[in-house]
Amino acid sequence: MKRKNLWAPWRIGYIRGLVDKNECFLCRIIKTPQDDDKNFVLWRTKNCITVLNRFPYNNGHLLIAPLRHIPDLDSGADEELLEMTKLIRDAQKALTSAIKPHGFNVGLNFGRCAGAGLPDHLHIHVVPRWNGDTNFVRVCSDTYLISQSLTELLDVLKQASAQSGLPLGGSY
């Protein structure tokens, strides 16, 4: 049987980022509010930022992070941690309205060995899931199929947020 290749050229940016000693990408995004659409920022609140993951596990994969560059929950102020939790709730509401997932994975990774691609800036993953979304491509070839562009998804989530009265740059 002849082997076939599945190409995912967008992954090279992620791979290079693992070895480069560049500035934290979340801090770069936090410092450049004028580029929010280009950086796929969904919400900015008093203490946090919510962005679309550029290297998602699934369509709608969001990252919620404090504005401060802190590595773990112990370093977080109660106000930041509470706001992050509220943003998880609001992200689920916006994603449910916009793309109708059947469920969610919500999680934190601490340290590279635990899967943290950015171990020094605390962030929460909110990943929408659908019944049957683990298909043969993912199982057999370790490749993710993402069904919507980040630009289109950002627009849909902003519309859903506005209709639901969710953060959109406000605060709690």
Active site residues: 123
Strand partners, 63: 51, 125
Q: For residue 148, give the 3-state DSSP assignment.
A: coil
Amino acid at 123: H
Report the candidate in 144, 141, 124, 156 with the shortest Cα–Cα distance to residue 58. Answer: 144
DSSP 56-112: -SSTT-EEEEESS---SGGGS-HHHHHHHHHHHHHHHHHHHHHH--SEEEEE---SG
Length of the chain: 172
124 to 14, 31, 41, 84, 119: CA distances (angstroms): 18, 19, 15, 8, 12
CA distance 117 to 95: 23
